[in-house]
Structure 1
Amino acid sequence: MKCTILHETTGRLRVHLCCGRMTVSQADVLEYYLRAQDGVQAVKVYDRTQDAVVLYEAERGSIIRALATFSFAKAEAMELVPEHTSRALNREFEDKLAVAVMRRCISKLFLPAPITTALALFRSVKYIREGLSALWHGKLSVAVLDATAVTVSMVRGDFATAGSVMFMLHLGEILEEWTHKKSVADLASAMSLRVDSVWQQVNGTEVLTKITDVKPGDRIVIRTGGMIPLDGRVVEGEAMVNQASLTGESMPVAKHPGSPVYAGTVAEEGECVISVEKSSGSGRYDRVVRMIEESEKLKSTAEDKASRMADRLVPYTLGGTALTYLLTRNVTKMLSVLMVDFSCALKLAIPIAVLSAMRESSGYHISVKGGRFLEAVAKADTIVFDKTGTLTYATPTVAAVVPFGGHDEAEMLRLAACLEEHYPHSMANAVVAEAKRHGLTHEEYHSQVQYVVAHGISSMVEGKKVIIGSAHFVFEDEGCCIPEGEQAKFDTLPAAYSHLYLCIDGELAAVICIHDPLRREAREAVRALHESGFTNVVMMTGDNRRTAETVAAEVGVDAVYAEVLPEDKAAFIRREKAKGHTVIMVGDGVNDSPALSEADAGIAISTGAAIAREIADITVASEDLFALVTLRRLGEALMARIHGSYRFIVGFNLTLIALGVAGVLPPATSALLHNGSTLGISLRNMADLLDDEENTQK
């Protein structure tokens, strides 16, 4: 497309597209097309002027070529634009605001008094109806205050004041709705699914397929712990699906052939084949928005307190209004008091502070499902870590494969990878990666895979039962044995590694030694968590005691528990909560799910199992444990902002009431200052809590 360079500096271009009129959707297409180019840091598109500003660190020539070859049709076909963007929302409310102001100006400047009076009477119906409706339902709300102010003005024949009051109320409604919807939209976009590929069923076999290549009608396979990334319907198998993120149901729902399933839910148990009905991105956003707006998880204790206080203050405002009139017999002063209420600011600004904090968290690759959890993080004194994939790297490696019973080392690694690839835990990933590194292909030649939570995997291969998992699973639960004459070899297995045991037909066939290196920042991160106020940092793991104690000593935790089962972790958290502690759990596996549910705030590492991310209240995508320190600072800063907002709202509005009673402020000015302060505190609460310097952690 033909473009003109309007201005240029090093790493920055401002160009004008010679395309005539640019629609809002076309502006989004251009923006996301340019963002997708290598080396582009930021893009801003101005649809009204058909201009685009590009910040880049790549070669200038590559940016010019990208602009020269751009066309809206080609870029739209690339499907780069998310289902929803904030540009259309902003334009909608910009237009609403402009229309409201223009109507007011025309009314004041050009319309005669009889017409403005008629318009005031017509517009007052809405406010009076809402006030009467609130009274009918036994509620003394802000609607009653607004209706009383409008009615008193018109009864006095002061239609100019009534018109000014309704204009300010209308502006306040537009700005409040805009602010709230933008906060929700920003957060919903940040909570989009991050699923790259799925197992697609093709001609009776399973093929790992990019999610963007899956179309309606295709079949995908979902197993225990797996996230359902697309809307569809079960056609084979059965599964218990956790739908809490969409419906709020606390218990998993049984899904049978014919049952609908939804993107973003997780299979807690079982296996099923799903026929896809909606392609990637469809349908998820609106349900996330609904979840954000309706879920009680958004309500922190501070929010609840502010909301209840706002409702309780309305009768006092009405009482103050009546008292003002009785003492002064001045209707103008009485209206000045009516124009000021605490409810709007308290019910808008404080929830927006929470939504903004959740949106800011996503900028640090932290997804938070509600203000209650940020509050829990802010006041927590105990944090419990799983070891594997949490304090250690999420990408452990295979150090050795020790065959038993005369089996071939490469064949055992091939078989282990074939089983493990279906369950994306960090250790399973290590086995699959090692097989790939050795060029070992592992086509599907086993029957249905059964996953046993916190223990291992079981399947049938060529008529023989094959299992892989922990020592407890293979030797105690399954009763497997060590081949005759190889006990000494088994006893000399290196204790420095974690072990996966592979057994065929009840006999040990191989031991896979996993090197699980400690995260380089783990010790400093644990120290920073101690400094931020955590008095008890605990590590709990199913690994052997000697390995666990070595890791615990190195990172500096306060207590370590080894060889524990999932129920042991959850029981420990229950005991600590019973003692009055606020407890956070950090984990990444299916076996961490009970503890994540039990904690005041469960934090999942995003590289772990989907069920852990689904059940967790917070998901951390960062590869750095210092993200937990950032999360703590965000929580503390949010609580400070909420308490500060509360004090400002109450203090400022009390001042307006006092000035109104004193006759200093007329009703319209009181309404202007009240709505202006509500908007101002709301905009302030949308600002970031942390700056870059404050978040420098190391």
Structure 2
Amino acid sequence: MKATILHESNGRLRVRLAQKRMTPEQADLLEAYLQSCTGVAQAAVHERTRCAVIRYQGGRAAVLAAIGRFSYQDPRVAALAPLHSSRMLNRQYQEKLVGKVLVKAACSLFLPSPLQIARICWISFPFLRRGLRCLLRRRMHVELLDALSIGISIARRDFGTAGSVMFLLELGELLEEWTHKKSVDDLARCMALGVDRVWRKDGDTETLVPLGQIGAGDCIAVRMGGVIPIDGTIAEGEVMVNQASLTGESMPVAKRPGTAVYAGTVVEEGECVLRVTQHSGESRYDKIVSMIEQSERLKSAAEGRASRLADRLVPYTLAGSALSFLLTRSVTRALSVLMVDFSCALKLAMPLAVLSAMREASAYHITVKGGKFLEAVAGADTIVFDKTGTLTHACPVVARVIPFGGRSEAEMLRVAACLEEHFPHSMANAVVRAARERRLAHEEMHSQVEYLVAHGISSTVDGEKVIIGSAHFVFEDEKTVIPAGEQAAFDALPPEFSHLYLAIGGELAAVICIADPLRGEAKAAIQALRALGIRRTVMLTGDSERTAAAIAAQVGVDDYRAEVLPEDKAHFVEAERAAGRTVIMLGDGINDSPALSAASVGIAISDGAAIAREIADVTIAADNLFELVALRRIAQGLMLRIHSNYRFVIGFNGMLIVLGAAGALMPAASAMLHNLSTLGISLRSMTNLLSPSFDAVAAGE
């Protein structure tokens, strides 16, 4: 693909593609391709200008070469196309918004007065019909006030005011619908696994097909490093599966034919054929969207209060208008009061504030399922953390190497790395990485390596058999013995770590202790949450008392519970809520799901278990716990904005009613000021709650 460089700065390129027109589908394809390229940190494609903005790391030559290789017809590129994109949604509403404004301007400027009047009368029918329906049902709702305002304006031949009122109402409805659908779409795509195509296996033939075409009973092939995209059972092969996103375990688990595997887990070793047990459509994008759109939880209490308050104020506005007419016998003054209602601002600004806060949260990799949960986050006083994958990284590291038989610690780590470097699963990577960090060269010094999936590695070094693996493999299968006089040292192995056993010549040579590293920002994030009003922090873990105590001391939580089962976590959360506390629960695995459901607000890690993400009310990325700080600040800022909006709407519109009743404002001026204030407060409600300077805080700096 040919392209022209339009602008270039350090680590940033803006290029224009050499094509006359770019469709949204092509833009999605190019964007997905660029983001998959090595060295590209971020890419955004704008189809209207046929431009791509690329932020990269390293040399620009590789990025330019990648652009040059791009082709829409390349099957490998076509496989990157997302099944769902928000680009078409944005374009649809942008065109609606621009079209509505242009039509309004064109009609005001160019249509003759009779045609303008006819147009206003025509578009008033839906508003008048809704108001009449309220009357027939004996309900005094905001729609009745809107209909009276528009109807009386038309009756008085004040068509300009009627047109302005309807335009602002339509504009507000469109903005609210756009913001809401965008939030739902972002949430649904965040909850999806991101696996769009799989290799379907038919006999000896493998075909790359969209995931949506996979049904129960089909077989798909999954290889080392691949994400299991759907629930099923192993039909062929033995694999090691990383289930950290599902169960919180950081160590891979052996899976053999007949055993179940679940969507969202990763094959770390080996390859397998998976027989699907659930149709893909049952838990994919469309189901998620349907669940979100049908959920009443999406509406915050603030939105409900605003809607109810707007309806309750309708009789008072009508009474005020009637009283003004009775006292002054002036239709103008009565209409001036009627022109000012609280509905527009209350029913428009509040949902926009909530949905805009949800959109702003997404910029910090936070997805909120409804405004109700932002309110709960703002008022929370207790936060409960799971440990593995939440306060710690679900990525093993070597904590200690304990040699046996008088051997050298460095030499044992070198031998272990020499064997493990051939098999890049998580624990092997930890051993190799530890040897590299200690500058231990582990050149090839062994014979052919024999690898047994889910067991360990066997080879020969200097004529002696060397094995490394699990306790079952080393002691039960290979009958390894502990050196004489060192049973006490073996019994004293630190229980807070997982153990990898190395044996030479049938004798235990070393135990490599593997740990889950604590997140570097965990302590600072908890301190920041305390500064924002969180009074109690608790850690729950299934690990031993010793491990839990060590992590709790390092991270600085107020309390912890060790060796807890999933149901124990839920019971703890329920007890905290029964004590009158508003509880946030943060977890990432299936074992956290009961507690997430029991909490006032359940927060799941976005690359955690699918069930945890579905049950949770909020999802955050796994990158940084300071996203919790951003969430808390956004939630508190939202509540302050909502209360500020209430005060302004009641105060300003109340002032307009008084001025209208006193004859100081004419109906047109009253309507104009009311509509301008509604537009102004709505635009304010759509602005960001956090300042740009908070980005550094959210990054943990």
**What residue number does 1:693 align with?**
693
Contact 1:216 / 1:277 at 8 angstroms: preserved in 2? yes
**What residue number does 2:494 align with?**
495
Aligned length: 597
Equivalent residues in 2 for 1:262-277, closer than 5 Å: 273-274=275-276
Q: Percentage identity across aligned positions?
A: 52
Between 1:18-27 and 1:646-655, the stretch displaced more is 18-27
Contact 1:187 / 1:355 at 8 angstroms: preserved in 2? no
**What residue number does 1:389 align with?**
389
Q: Deviations over 1:235-273 (max 9, x none)?
A: 99xxxxxxxxxxxxxxxxxxxxxxxxx9999xxxxxx95
- For residue 539 of structure 1, give the secondary structure of its aligned residue in structure 2: strand
Between 1:161-170 and 1:194-203, the stretch displaced more is 194-203
Deviation at 1:657, TM superposition (A): 3.3
For 1:388, the aligned partner's letter is T
CA distance in 2, matches of 1:93, 1:577: 42
**What residue number does 1:453 align with?**
none
Deviation at 1:523, TM superposition (A): 3.3
- For residue 122 of structure 1, give the secondary structure of its aligned residue in structure 2: helix
For 1:357, the aligned partner's letter is A
Between 1:122-131 and 1:165-174, the stretch displaced more is 165-174
- For residue 603 of structure 2, give the secondary structure of its aligned residue in structure 1: strand
Deviation at 1:6, TM superposition (A): 4.8
Call closer, same or farther: CA 1:263–1:110 in 2, change over 3 Å: farther
For 1:327, the aligned partner's letter is L
**What residue number does 1:269 align with?**
none
- For residue 537 of structure 2, give the secondary structure of its aligned residue in structure 1: strand
Q: Deviations over 1:125-168 (max 9, x none)?
A: 22211111223334322221121122223333445554454444
CA distance in 2, matches of 1:440, 1:537: 48
For 2:525, the aligned partner's letter is A
For 1:193, the aligned partner's letter is A
Equivalent residues in 2 for 1:437-452, closer than 5 Å: 441-443=451-453
Q: Deviations over 1:605-648 (max 9, x none)?
A: 44544433333333332343333333322322222222222223
Tell me if 1:553 matches 2:548: no
Deviation at 1:178, TM superposition (A): 3.7
**What residue number does 2:601 align with?**
601
CA distance in 1, matches of 2:89, 2:142: 26
For 1:124, the aligned partner's letter is S
Q: Deviations over 1:168-199 (max 9, x none)?
A: 4444444444444444444444x242456999
Contact 2:313 / 2:342 at 8 angstroms: preserved in 1? yes
Equivalent residues in 2 for 1:20-31, closer than 5 Å: 20-31=20-31
Equivalent residues in 2 for 1:201-350, closer than 5 Å: 216=214, 218-219=218-219, 229=229, 273-274=275-276, 284-350=284-350
CA distance in 1, matches of 2:232, 2:287: 17
Call closer, same or farther: CA 1:681–1:660 in 2, change over 3 Å: same
For 1:299, the aligned partner's letter is K
- For residue 367 of structure 1, give the secondary structure of its aligned residue in structure 2: strand
Between 1:619-628 and 1:491-500, the stretch displaced more is 491-500
Call closer, same or farther: CA 1:49–1:12 in 2, change over 3 Å: same
CA distance in 2, matches of 1:8, 1:487: 65
- For residue 383 of structure 2, give the secondary structure of its aligned residue in structure 1: strand
CA distance in 1, matches of 2:26, 2:197: 31
CA distance in 1, matches of 2:201, 2:403: 35
- For residue 192 of structure 2, give the secondary structure of its aligned residue in structure 1: coil
CA distance in 1, matches of 2:83, 2:623: 28
Gaps of 5+ in 1: 237-261, 266-271, 404-412, 422-428, 446-465, 469-482, 503-508
* Aligned-residue CA RMSD (Å): 4.9
Contact 1:495 / 1:547 at 8 angstroms: preserved in 2? no
CA distance in 1, matches of 2:493, 2:618: 36
CA distance in 1, matches of 2:31, 2:111: 44
CA distance in 2, matches of 1:331, 1:220: 75
**TM-score of the aligned structures, taking structure 1 as reference length:** 0.70
**What residue number does 2:562 align with?**
562
CA distance in 1, matches of 2:58, 2:100: 45
Contact 2:264 / 2:610 at 8 angstroms: preserved in 1? no
Q: Deviations over 1:14-73 (max 9, x none)?
A: 554443344444444444444544455555555445455555555444454445454544
Call closer, same or farther: CA 1:340–1:294 in 2, change over 3 Å: farther
Call closer, same or farther: CA 1:126–1:289 in 2, change over 3 Å: same
Equivalent residues in 2 for 1:83-482, closer than 5 Å: 83-105=83-105, 107-109=107-109, 111-159=111-159, 161-189=161-189, 191-195=190-194, 216=214, 218-219=218-219, 229=229, 273-274=275-276, 284-397=284-397, 441-443=451-453
CA distance in 2, matches of 1:28, 1:201: 25
For 2:621, the aligned partner's letter is A
**What residue number does 2:650 align with?**
650
Equivalent residues in 2 for 1:613-692, closer than 5 Å: 613-663=613-663, 665-692=665-692
- For residue 95 of structure 1, give the secondary structure of its aligned residue in structure 2: helix
Contact 2:602 / 2:618 at 8 angstroms: preserved in 1? yes
**TM-score of the aligned structures, taking structure 2 as reference length:** 0.70
- For residue 140 of structure 1, give the secondary structure of its aligned residue in structure 2: coil
**What residue number does 2:258 align with?**
none
For 2:315, the aligned partner's letter is P
Contact 1:394 / 1:607 at 8 angstroms: preserved in 2? no
CA distance in 2, matches of 1:229, 1:665: 64
Q: Deviations over 1:77-104 (max 9, x none)?
A: 5354544444433443443344444544
Between 1:95-104 and 1:309-318, the stretch displaced more is 95-104
Deviation at 1:577, TM superposition (A): 1.6
Contact 2:543 / 2:562 at 8 angstroms: preserved in 1? yes
For 1:274, the aligned partner's letter is V
Contact 2:603 / 2:620 at 8 angstroms: preserved in 1? yes
Equivalent residues in 2 for 1:526-605, closer than 5 Å: 526-605=526-605
Deviation at 1:394, TM superposition (A): 1.8
CA distance in 1, matches of 2:454, 2:212: 21
For 1:216, the aligned partner's letter is I
Deviation at 1:580, TM superposition (A): 1.1
CA distance in 2, matches of 1:525, 1:164: 49
For 2:299, the aligned partner's letter is K
Gaps of 5+ in 2: 236-261, 266-273, 405-415, 434-445, 456-469, 473-481, 502-507
- For residue 19 of structure 1, give the secondary structure of its aligned residue in structure 2: coil
For 1:369, the aligned partner's letter is K
Contact 2:29 / 2:82 at 8 angstroms: preserved in 1? no
